[in-house]
Amino acid sequence: MMRFAIIQSIILGTVQGVTEFLPISSSAHLIIVPLFLEFNGGIQDSLFFDVSLHFGTFLSVMIFFYKDWVRLIKGLFSSIAKRGADTPDERLIWHIIAATLPAAVAGVAFENTIDMLFHTGEISSLVYIAIPLTLVSFLMIFSEKFSGKHKTISEITLKDAVIIGCAQALALFPGTSRAGITICAGLLLGYKRDESAKLSFLLSTPVIFGAFLLKFIKSAGHLKPDETALYITGSAVSAIIGYMSIKLLLKFLARKKLNAFAYYRIWLAIVLVVWYQLSL
């Protein structure tokens, strides 16, 4: 039984690490994969295991961008000390804070409602997931075709940050993808593709940490000492795979469009609808 649980934690850690940062929706895949593999009553139902997966991806993005975050944190303190934001790092950290607020408010207000709608463990939830999968796919294709792609992160304005932050809040809906929706928003605002991706990752850091912290508080009473190995395994796998996914996506988007991810999402949405119909 423990061997099977370890395999489950490795699989789900891999899914979290890959899909948290690629624009294909981690929340959707963490619903789909257990359903497809029939992980009934497995480790995926453990609230604290979900916390460990989020902690792993938080570690991966923090480690990958630690130099950026050191500069940004220094910029935060220096801007507070002199009561003004004059340097690019000082402005960027405050813009990241502003962009985080919409997702934080939406998460607190709607998380339970979304969980009841999507995280049911039932086949019917697949139809709901297929809708945002499809809509954001077309948004990816549209943004690639009509974006200017000339701005860099250092040029970000408060208005742009708030718009991207509001887009990020939509990632609460499984199938949307935090990376997908924020990269699209960046492109439509005129940012380069790889700059949009980096901005997406920087914006995701406080949101992922916030999700981890919120889930940790909720699940603290559900910690099971005998499952410690599973928590550590899932967290370690999601951290390692997440780091590799970030590196892969940044290299990919420096040269290629989002369209490949959009086509995958459309294909997945079709599969989910067919799967649901066959289950009736």
In a domain, 102, yes or no: yes
User: Which tens digits make up the pLDDT trace of 73-100?
Assistant: 999 999 999 888 889 999 999 999 999 9
Any domain includes 275: no
Among candidate residues 100, 71, 98, the one with its CA nearest the CA of residue 87:
71
Q: Which of these, 271, 220, 233, 276, lies nearest to 8 by C-alpha position?
A: 233
Q: How many domains does the chain have?
A: 1
In a domain, 138, yes or no: no
Each residue's pLDDT tens digit, 113-144? 776 666 555 667 788 889 999 999 999 999 99
Question: CA 160 to CA 142: how far, in whole Å?
Answer: 19
- Residue 259: strand, helix, or coil: helix
Q: Is residue 255 part of a domain?
A: no
| Overall average pLDDT of the 149-156 stretch | 88
For residue 126, is it within any domain? no
Residue 40 included in any domain: no
Q: How confident is the model at residue 37 (pLDDT cuts 50, 70, 90)?
A: confident
Query: pLDDT value at position 213?
Result: 84
Alpha carbon distance 98, 202 (integer Å): 13
Mean pLDDT taken over the chain: 88
The pTM assigned to this predicted structure is: 0.90
- Residues 175-215: tens digit of each pLDDT: 999 999 999 999 999 999 999 999 999 998 998 888 888 77
- Is 104 domain-assigned? yes
Listed residue (182, 22, 201) closest to 102, CA to CA: 182
Q: Is residue 231 helix, strand or coil?
A: helix
Question: In this structure, is residue 12 part of a structural domain?
Answer: no
Quick: pLDDT tens for 38-59.
776 666 666 678 888 989 999 9
**Mean pLDDT over residues 144-155, rounded?**
87
Work out the pLDDT band at 23, boundaries 50, 70, 90. very high
- Distance in angstroms (rounded) separating the CA atoms of residues 26 and 15: 7
Domain span including residue 178: 65-118+145-223
CB-based burial, 210-221: b 16+ in 10 Å, e otherwise: bbbebbbeebee
First to last CA, the chain: 31
